[in-house]
C-alpha cells in the first residue's frame, strides 16, 4: 500500500510517508524519497494487537502494538486498503499452526552440523553435574522418560535418593498437573536445595502418603537441617479458595517438619492487567510528571516486581544463611514458581550471573520445567486469558538487580532486552510450545535454530564492562537491599519505551567503557610486542646503532575511541508556540526509532541492529552497521548545521 | 541571552522610554526577540497591582512574550520538604512511595525548569533570536533558566572551570539571595518566608543532564553534592550573604576563603572530575519526558540508601578509564 504515513507518538507534526508491505513473515514500512530509505520491519509474531481507529480527513489510522512494546501508528489513505491490511494482519498475527512461525523459515545459512552444535551449547545434564548432582543425596530419575508421569516435566528429573519411583508416582497423583516435587537448585556448600512443584490436591482434608514421603525425602537429603520451608507463592486467599476446588496447600499438621509460608504474588490475570495499565501510561501524549507517576502507581507493576524479588530473596536467604531446603509452588508450578526459583538461583549462584549461566538458568527453570511459552506469549492464536508477562517480569527483576549491583553481572541490559525480544519473535525454536514433550514431537532441534548460539556468537555486544569475575560483588550470594527500598525500583524505560530512543540517556556508558576496555587491551598487547621487539633489538645491536622506535599513530592504529556527538542531539518539542521549530521528537531521536531489519541483517538477526544506542548517543559505534550497508545514518541535525563537527573513527 | 527583573508597569500601565530604548537597541532592524516570563500570564498580570507587571506589546513591538510558570518561594520549599519526608520514611508499600513522590511534585518542578531552559536555548540556537528572561525579582527562577540554558548551549560551561564561572556569574554575582534562600533546608520547622531551594533545583537539573549525557560534563555528582552542602553551611565565604553589595560591606573577600580556591587545588580537583568526560562541542538537548526525569537518589537518598555497590561500580569505572 502506497502513501502510508508513519506517525510519531510525541510529535504530531513528525510523520514520514512511505509504502507498506505485508509478507508471509513481516510487516515492512519503507520510507519514501530520501537516499536512506529507512525501513521498519516487524515480525508478525511480535504483533500483540491491531486497532483500526476512526477515519479522519487525513486517512484511516491503524495502530499496531507489539509484544516488545513497539507501537506503530500508521495512517492509510483509503479506507478499503486499511480494512484489507487490518484483516490480513489479524490473520497473520494469529497463526494456527506452528509451521507458520518464522523459525521454520528463518535461514541463517548454517549447515546441519552448526545447527546441532548451536543446540548443544546449553547442556542441562552438565549443569546439574556442575551443581554437584547426582550425589549421595540426589539421583536422576527416569520415571518420566516417556512423559508418562508428568507430560509438562522433562524426561530427566532430579529427586532425593530416598524418593523411589513409587513415591514419585504417588506424589505426582496428588499434585496439580502431576507436577511432583523435583530439584531446581542444589547448593553444594551446605546441601540445602530448592525444589519445585505444583499445589497439592489436598482440598480440605485429603492426604497422600507418598506426597508426604516425598517432602520427607527432600528434608532427609539435607542432613544439616531438620525441617524444610514450603513456600506457596500465592496470596493466602487465593490458595484457600483453591481448596474448594479440591486443591490447596500443605497442612503443617500432616507434613512433618515443614514450615509453611505464603508469599503473596498475584496471578497471571492481575499481572496481565498491570502491564496493560502501565503500557497505557507509556502511550500517553505529553504526560505530566503527575500523570506518569500516578499512572505507574495505579498499574501496580513495580509492586509486583518487588513481590517476586522479595520471594527470591527469602528463598535465597533460607538456603544460603539458614541452610534450609525450600519447596516452592504456586498453583500449577509453572509461572510464579519459575520466577521465584530463578531469581533465588541468580542470587545464590554467581554462575547464573554469567552470560552462559543465565542461558542455562532460563533453559533449566523455564524451558525444561514446562513453562507454557506458547500460551503465555501467544506463539499461536489461543486463549487471551492465558497471555501474561511472566518471563518479562523475571527479566525485569534481573534488570532491577543490575541497576542496584552494577558489577555483579557479566551481561548488560541489551542482553536482557534481546532475550525478551526473541521470546516473542519466534525466530528461534527455543521458546516454542508448552513443554519439552511438545518440542520433541515437533522436532524443534532439527527444524529450527537456537537463540543461545546466536547470542553467544554476538556476545561482545552483551558484555558488562564493569564485570570482573574476581570482584566482591560477583562472588557468592548477592545481597540486594530489601527494606526500605521501594525507591530503588525504577521504571524500565529501556524496555517499555525501547523504541523511543530519545527518552533514554543519549550517551551509553556501557558502550563507552567497552570501547575503552578494548582499546586498553589492544594497547597492552601492542606494548608487549614493542617491549619484546626492543629487547631483541638491544640484544642484536650494540654500539651506535639507532633504534628506530616506530611512532604509532594511536588513532589510526587502534581506531581510537572518539565521541561522535553529531548524531546525539535533537531537541524535543519544548514549545507549541514556536511553530517554526523543525524539532524532532525524542521518540524518533536522530534516526528511526523503529526496529530496522533488512534482508542482509536477517542473517545476523540482531533485533537492534541500527538502533544501537550508540548512534543516538555521543558515542561512535566502531562497528556501525546501517541497513543500507553504508555509513551511519545522518541526522537531521548534522545536515542543518554544517558547523557541527562530526568525529569519525580513524 | 539576557536577564532582568520585571518591568514596573504598575496598575496605570506606566511606560519607560529608556527601558524601551534599551530593549530596542538589542535587536536589529526587523529582528524579533523573545521574552520568557517565568510567571504564569495571570500571575504576571496580577503583579501589576503590586507595581510590577509585564512588557506590553505596544511598547515593545519587536519582542514576543512567552509565559512559563515556574514554582518558587513557599510552594517550592513545601515541595522539597515533602519529598525529603517521603524519602526518609521507611514506607512498606510501593504505592505509598510512588504516591508520595508524586504528591511532592518535586520532579514536576525539575521537568518544568528543564523545559523552560530548553525553550530559551532553542530560541537562541534554532531561531537565532535573542532572549530576555525574567520573573518577578530576577533573582530566582530567572537565574535557574539562564544558567541551565548556558549549560545546554555552551560546551565551555560544562568544563569544571567553566561551571564554576557559570555559578559565580549566574548565581552569585547575579544576586541570588543565598542567605535568605538557603537558611534552614528541608527539615527545619522554623520556615523562613524567604526560604526556597532554587539552587538545589538547579543542581538537580544539572544532575539530570549528567544522567542523560554521562560523557559530556567534566564534573561529577560529587561536585554537585559539595555545592549543595556549601550553599547551606560552609567553611568558605563563597555563598555568604545575598548580593555582591552585602559581600562587599561584610568584607567577605578579605575575611574568608573561597570555595573555588579550595576545590581547584590539584589534590582536591581530581575528586570532582568525571572520568567519562569527553568534550562535546554540540548543544545537548535533554529529554523532558517523565520517563527521562529521575529522582536524584544520590542527594535525596544520600543517607538512606547504602551506596557500597554503586561506589564499587564507580571505582571500577575509574579503574577502567584511568588504565590508559
Give Cα separations from A334 to A196, A198, A340, A365 (angstroms).
9, 8, 10, 9
Flag whether A572 is in a domain.
no
Cα distances (Å, whole numbers) of residue B124 to A441, A499, B2: 66, 30, 11
Cβ neighbors of B173 (< 8 A, separation 6 or more) are B244
Q: Is residue A583 part of a domain?
A: no
Identify the band that residue A565 occupies on the pLDDT scale cut at 50, 70 and 90: low
Interface of B with A in 295-324 (CB under 8 A): 295, 297, 301, 304-306, 309-310, 312-313, 316-317, 320-321, 323-324
Chain A residues near residue B288 by CB distance under 8 angstroms? 572, 574
Q: Closest residue of A to B317, CA-based?
A: A466
Residue B161 binned pLDDT confidence (cut-offs 50, 70, 90): very high
Look at residue A13 in the predicted model and tell me its pLDDT: 67
Q: Residue A335's pLDDT is what? A: 97
pLDDT of residue A109: 87
CB count within 10 Å of CB A491 equals 20
Structural domain contains residue B85: no
Same domain, A270 and A311: yes
pLDDT at A599 over 60: no
Cβ burial, residue B107 (10 Å; 0-12/13-18/19+): buried
Assigned C-alpha cell, B95: 504505592
Average pLDDT, chain B: 93
CA dihedral A155, A158, A162, A167 (to 10 degrees): -40
- Separation of alpha carbons A192 and A322, rounded Å: 9
Does residue A392 sit in the same domain as residue A365? Answer: yes
Residue A635 lies in a domain: no
Domain count of the fold of chain A = 2
| Residue A43 · residue A427 · CB < 8 Å | yes
Q: Please tell me the predicted confidence (pLDDT) of residue A220.
A: 96
d(CA A15, CA A20): 14
B148 in Cβ contact with B135 (< 8 Å): no
Q: Does B87 reach chain A within 8 Å, measured CB to CB?
A: yes
Compute chain B's Rg from CA coordinates. 21
C-alpha cell at A81: 486498503
Could you give the number of structural domains in chain B?
Answer: 1
Beta strands (DSSP E) in B26-91 are 33-37, 63-67
Distance CA B195, CA A438 (A): 68
Question: In sequence order, what DSSP letters do the residues of A83-134 get, joined into one string?
Answer: HHHHHHHHHHTS-SSGGGSGGGT------HHHHHHHHHTS-HHHHHHHHT-S
Residue B230 Rama label (left phi>0; alpha psi -120 to 50; beta): alpha
Cα-Cα-Cα-Cα dihedral sign, residues A214, A220, A221, A222:
positive
- Which domain range does residue B288 map to? 2-73+106-322
| Cβ-proximal residues to B291 (8 Å cutoff; 6+ apart), any chain | A282, A292, A491, A493, A497, A503
Closest CA to A326 of A430, A225, A474: A225
pLDDT, tens digit (0-9, with 9 covering 90-100), for B111-126: 999 999 999 999 999 9
The DSSP output letter for A232 is E
- In this predicted structure, the answer to whether residue A647 has a pLDDT above a threshold of 70 is no
| Alpha carbons A532 and A539: distance in angstroms, whole number | 11
Give me A175's grid cell: 499434585
A608 is a domain residue = no
Q: Average pLDDT for residues A48-67, to the nearest whole number?
A: 92
Sign of CA dihedral A641, A643, A644, A647: positive
The alpha carbon torsion through B87, B92, B96, B100 (nearest 10 deg) reads -10
CB contact under 8 A, A289 and B91: no
- Cβ-Cβ pairs closer than 8 A, A with B, add up to 201
A-facing residues of B in 181-220 (CB < 8 A) are 211-216
Same domain for A81 and A206: no
Chain B residue with minimum CA distance to A479: B309
Q: Looking at per-residue confidence, does B274 or A613 come out higher?
A: B274
- Could you tell me if A383 and A487 lie in one domain? yes
A197 and A341, same domain (yes or no): yes
How long a stretch of residues is chain A? 650
Q: Is residue A609 part of a domain?
A: no
Q: Is the pLDDT of residue A525 over 50?
A: yes
Q: Is residue A105 part of a domain?
A: no
Contact between A73 and A9 (Cβ < 8 Å) = yes
**SS (HEC) of A11-57:** CCCCEEEEEEEECCCEEEEEECCCCCCCEEEEEHHHEEEEEECCCEC
| Catalytic-labelled residue, pool A150, A330, A624, A632 | A330
Residues in B touching A8 (Cβ below 8 Å): none
Please say if the pLDDT value at position A625 is more than 60: no
In terms of domains, do A381 and A488 share one?
Answer: yes
Chain B residue with the nearest C-alpha to that of A554: B324
| Residues in chain B within 8 Å Cβ distance of A290 | 102, 105, 108
Handedness of CA A336, A340, A343, A345 (dihedral sign): negative
Do residues A433 and A99 make contact, with C-beta atoms less than 8 angstroms apart?
A: no
What residues have CB less than 8 Å from B185, skipping those under 6 apart?
B197, B232
Is the pLDDT confidence value at A609 over 80? no
How much is the pLDDT for A619? 26
Return the residue in A307, A468, A473, A487 with the most chain B beta carbons within 10 A, the one to mutate for interface testing. A487
- Please tell me the distance in Å from A589's CA to the nearest CA on chain B: 10
Indicate whether A645 pLDDT > 50: no
pLDDT tens for A311-345 read 999 999 999 999 999 999 999 999 999 999 999 99
ipTM: 0.93
Residues A372 and A494 both lie in one domain: yes
**Which of these three, A31, A63, A94, is where a domain ends?**
A94
pLDDT, tens only, A7-46 = 887 666 678 899 999 998 899 999 987 677 888 999 999 9
Residue B238 within a domain = yes
* Residue A433 is assigned to a structural domain of this protein: yes
Contact A516 B214 (CB under 8 A): no
Q: In whole angstroms, what is the distance from residue B301 CA to residue A244 CA?
A: 47
Helical H segments across A433-508, by residue range:
436-441, 444-447, 451-457, 493-496
Q: Residue B58 burial (CB < 10 Å; 0-12/13-18/19+)?
A: exposed
pLDDT of A266 above 60: yes
More confident residue, A574 or A523: A523
Domain with residue B261: its CATH number is 3.90.190.10
Last residue of a domain, one of A511, A531, A553: A511
Q: Which residue has the cell 508428568?
A: A150
Q: Which residue has the cell 496580577?
A: B46
Mark whether A322 and A272 lie in a shared domain.
Answer: yes
pLDDT in tens, A153-206: 999 999 999 999 999 999 999 999 999 999 999 999 999 999 999 999 999 999
The reported pLDDT for the residue numbered A578 is 46
The lowest-confidence range among A351-355, A384-388, B10-14 is B10-14
Is the domain of A116 the same as that of A87? no
B2-43 pLDDT per residue, tens = 999 999 999 999 999 999 999 999 999 889 999 999 999 999
The angle, 0 to 180 degrees and rounded to 10, between the axes of the packed helices A413-425 and A355-362 is 30
Q: What's the rounded mean pLDDT across residues A106-119?
A: 91
A262 and A316 assigned to the same domain: yes
Sign of CA dihedral A455, A459, A460, A465: positive
Among chain A residues, CA nearest to B88: A484
In a domain, B78, yes or no: no
**Is residue A426 flagged as an active site residue?**
no
How many separate helices (H) and strands (E) can be counted in chain B?
16, 4
User: What does the pLDDT read at residue A545?
Assistant: 52
Q: Does a structural domain hold residue B90?
A: no
What CATH number does residue A36 fall under?
A: 2.30.29.30
Residue B130 lies in a domain: yes
Omega cis (within 30) before A8 = no
Question: In which residue are the cell numbers 509478507 written?
Answer: A23
Asked if residue B79 is part of any domain, the answer here is no
In a domain, B94, yes or no: no
Residue A644, all three cell numbers: 557541527
What DSSP line would sit under B213-224, residue for residue? STTS-SB-HHHH
In the predicted structure, residue A562 carries a pLDDT above the cut 60: no
Question: Is residue A503 within 8 Å of B291, Cβ to Cβ?
Answer: yes
CB contact under 8 A, A493 and B127: no
Judgement on whether residues A481 and A375 belong to the same structural domain of the protein: yes
Residue A314 domain flag: yes
3-class SS of residue B63: strand
B306 chain-A contacts, CB cut-off 8 A: 481
- Residue A182 host element (H or E): strand A182-186
Whether residue A611 has pLDDT greater than 50: no
State whether A65 and A129 are in the same domain.
Answer: no
Q: pTM for the complete prediction?
A: 0.88
Q: Which residues pair with B34 in a beta bridge?
A: B64, B131
List the domain range (segments joined by +) for residue A411: 112-511
Mean pLDDT of chain A: 84
- Distance between CA A129 and CA A159 in Å, rounded? 14
Q: Among residues A66, A94, A122, which one ends one of the domains? A: A94
Q: How far apart are CA B255 and CA B236, in angstroms?
A: 10
| Contacts (Cβ under 8 Å, ≥6 apart) of B47 | B6, B39, B53, B54, B136
HSE-CB of B136 using CA atoms within 13 angstroms: 19
Amino acid at each position: 500500500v502506497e502513501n502510508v504515513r508513519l506517525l510519531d507518538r510525541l510529535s504530531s507534526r513528525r510523520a514520514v510517508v512511505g509504502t507498506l508491505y505485508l509478507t508471509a513473515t513481516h510487516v515492512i514500512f519503507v520510507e519514501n524519497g530520501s537516499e536512506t530509505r529507512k525501513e521498519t520491519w516487524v515480525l508478525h509474531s511480535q504483533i500483540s494487537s491491531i486497532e483500526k481507529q476512526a477515519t479522519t480527513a487525513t486517512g484511516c489510522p491503524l495502530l499496531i502494538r507489539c509484544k516488545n512494546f513497539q507501537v506503530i501508528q500508521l495512517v492509510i489513505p483509503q479506507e478499503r486498503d486499511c480494512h484489507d491490511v487490518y484483516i490480513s494482519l489479524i490473520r497473520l498475527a494469529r497463526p494456527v499452526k506452528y509451521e507458520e512461525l518464522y523459525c521454520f523459515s528463518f535461514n541463517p545459512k548454517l549447515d546441519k552440523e552448526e545447527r546441532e552444535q548451536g543446540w548443544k551449547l546449553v547442556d542441562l545434564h552438565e549443569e546439574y553435574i556442575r551443581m554437584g548432582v547426582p550425589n549421595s543425596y540426589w539421583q536422576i530419575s527416569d520415571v518420566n522418560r516417556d512423559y508418562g508421569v508428568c507430560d509438562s516435566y522433562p524426561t530427566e528429573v532430579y529427586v532425593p535418593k530416598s524418593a523411589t519411583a513409587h513415591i514419585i508416582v504417588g506424589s505426582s497423583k496428588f499434585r496439580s498437573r502431576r507436577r511432583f516435587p523435583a530439584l531446581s537448585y542444589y547448593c553444594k556448600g551446605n546441601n540445602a536445595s530448592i525444589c519445585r512443584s505444583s499445589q497439592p490436591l489436598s482440598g480440605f482434608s485429603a492426604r497422600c502418603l507418598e506426597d508426604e514421603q516425598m517432602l520427607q525425602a527432600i528434608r532427609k537429603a539435607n542432613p544439616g537441617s531438620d525441617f524444610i520451608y514450603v513456600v506457596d507463592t500465592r496470596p493466602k486467599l487465593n490458595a484457600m479458595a483453591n481448596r474448594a476446588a479440591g486443591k490447596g496447600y500443605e497442612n503443617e499438621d500432616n507434613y512433618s517438619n515443614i514450615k509453611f509460608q505464603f508469599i503473596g504474588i498475584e496471578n497471571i490475570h492481575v499481572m496481565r492487567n498491570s502491564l496493560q495499565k502501565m503500557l497505557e501510561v507509556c502511550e500517553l501524549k505529553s504526560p505530566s510528571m503527575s500523570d506518569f507517576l500516578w499512572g505507574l502507581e495505579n498499574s501496580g507493576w513495580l509492586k509486583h516486581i518487588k513481590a517476586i524479588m522479595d520471594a527470591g530473596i527469602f528463598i535465597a536467604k533460607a538456603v544460603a544463611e539458614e541452610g534450609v531446603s525450600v519447596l516452592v509452588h504456586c498453583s500449577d508450578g509453572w509461572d510464579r514458581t519459575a520466577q521465584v526459583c530463578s531469581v533465588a538461583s541468580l542470587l545464590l549462584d554467581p554462575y547464573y550471573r554469567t552470560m552462559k549461566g543465565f542461558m542455562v538458568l532460563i533453559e533449566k527453570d523455564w524451558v525444561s520445567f514446562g513453562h507454557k511459552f506458547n500460551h503465555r506469549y501467544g506463539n499461536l492464536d489461543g486463549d487471551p486469558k492465558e497471555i501474561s508477562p511472566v518471563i518479562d517480569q523475571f527479566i525485569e527483576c534481573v534488570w532491577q538487580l543490575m541497576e542496584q549491583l552494577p558489577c555483579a553481572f557479566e551481561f548488560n541490559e541489551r542482553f536482557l532486552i534481546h532475550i525478551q525480544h526473541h521470546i516473542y519473535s519466534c525466530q528461534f525454536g527455543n521458546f516454542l510450545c508448552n513443554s519439552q514433550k511438545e518440542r520433541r514431537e515437533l522436532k524443534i532441534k532439527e527444524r529450527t535454530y537456537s537463540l543461545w548460539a546466536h547470542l553467544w556468537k554476538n556476545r561482545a555486544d552483551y558484555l558488562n564492562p564493569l564485570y570482573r569475575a574476581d570482584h566482591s560483588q560477583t562472588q557468592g550470594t548477592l545481597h540486594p537491599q530489601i527494606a526500605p527500598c521501594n525507591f530503588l525500583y525504577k521504571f524500565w524505560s529501556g524496555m517499555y519505551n525501547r523504541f523511543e530512543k530519545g527518552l533514554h540517556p543519549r550517551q551509553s556508558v556501557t558502550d563507552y567503557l567497552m570501547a575503552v576496555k578494548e582499546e586498553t587491551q589492544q594497547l597492552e598487547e601492542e606494548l608487549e610486542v614493542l617491549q619484546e621487539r626492543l629487547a631483541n633489538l638491544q640484544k642484536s645491536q650494540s654500539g651506535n646503532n639507532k633504534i628506530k622506535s616506530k611512532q604509532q599513530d594511536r588513532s589510526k592504529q587502534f581506531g581510537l575511541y572518539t565521541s561522535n556527538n553529531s548524531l546525539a542531539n535533537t531537541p524535543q518539542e519544548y514549545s507549541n508556540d514556536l511553530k517554526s521549530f523543525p524539532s524532532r521528537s525524542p521518540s524518533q531521536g536522530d534516526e528511526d526509532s523503529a526496529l530496522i531489519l533488512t534482508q542482509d541483517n536477517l542473517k545476523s538477526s540482531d533485533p537492534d541492529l541500527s538502533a544501537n544506542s550508540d548512534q543516538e548517543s555521543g558515542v561512535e559505534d566502531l562497528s556501525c552497521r546501517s541497513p543500507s550497508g553504508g555509513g551511519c545514518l545522518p541526522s537531521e541535525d548534522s545536515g542543518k548545521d554544517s558547523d557541527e563537527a562530526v568525529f569519525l573513527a580513524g | 541571552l539576557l536577564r532582568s527583573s520585571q518591568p514596573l508597569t504598575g496598575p496605570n500601565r506606566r511606560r519607560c522610554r529608556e527601558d524601551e530604548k534599551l530593549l530596542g537597541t538589542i535587536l536589529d532592524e526587523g529582528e524579533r526577540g523573545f521574552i520568557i516570563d517565568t510567571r504564569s500570564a495571570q500571575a504576571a498580570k496580577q503583579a501589576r497591582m503590586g507595581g510590577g507587571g509585564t512588557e506590553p506589546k505596544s511598547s515593545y513591538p519587536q519582542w514576543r512574550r512567552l509565559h512559563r510558570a515556574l514554582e518558587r518561594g513557599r510552594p517550592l520549599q513545601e515541595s522539597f520538604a515533602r519529598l525529603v519526608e517521603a524519602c526518609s520514611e521507611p514506607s512498606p508499600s510501593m504505592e505509598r512511595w510512588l504516591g508520595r513522590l508524586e504528591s511532592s511534585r518535586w520532579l514536576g518542578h525539575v521537568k518544568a525548569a528543564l523545559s523552560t531552559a530548553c525553550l530559551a536555548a532553542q530560541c537562541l540556537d534554532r531561531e537565532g533570536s535573542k532572549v530576555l528572561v525574567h520573573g518577578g525579582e530576577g533573582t530566582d527562577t530567572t537565574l535557574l533558566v539562564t544558567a541551565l540554558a548556558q549549560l545546554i548551549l555552551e560546551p565551555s560551561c560544562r568544563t569544571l572551570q567553566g561551571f564554576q564561572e557559570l555559578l559565580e556569574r549566574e548565581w552569585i554575582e547575579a544576586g541570588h539571595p543565598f542567605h535568605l534562600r538557603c537558611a534552614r533546608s528541608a527539615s527545619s520547622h522554623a520556615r523562613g518566608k524567604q526560604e526556597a531551594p532554587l539552587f538545589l533545583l538547579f543542581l538537580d537539573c544539572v544532575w539530570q543532564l549528567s544522567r542523560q549525557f554521562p560523557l559530556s560534563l567534566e564534573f561529577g555528582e560529587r561536585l554537585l553534592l559539595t555545592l549543595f552542602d556549601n550553599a547551606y553551611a560552609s567553611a568558605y565565604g563563597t555563598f555568604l550573604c545575598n548580593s555582591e553589595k552585602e559581600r562587599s560591606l561584610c568584607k567577605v573577600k578579605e575575611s574568608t576563603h573561597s570555595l573555588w580556591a579550595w576545590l581547584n587545588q590539584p589534590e582536591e580537583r581530581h575528586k570532582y572530575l568525571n572520568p567519562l568526560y569527553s568534550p562535546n562541542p554540540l548543544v545537548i538537548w535533554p529529554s523532558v519526558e517523565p520517563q527521562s526525569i529521575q529522582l536524584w537518589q544520590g542527594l535525596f537518598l544520600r543517607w538512606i540508601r547504602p551506596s557500597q555497590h554503586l561506589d564499587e561500580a564507580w571505582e571500577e569505572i575509574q579503574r577502567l578509564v584511568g588504565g590508559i
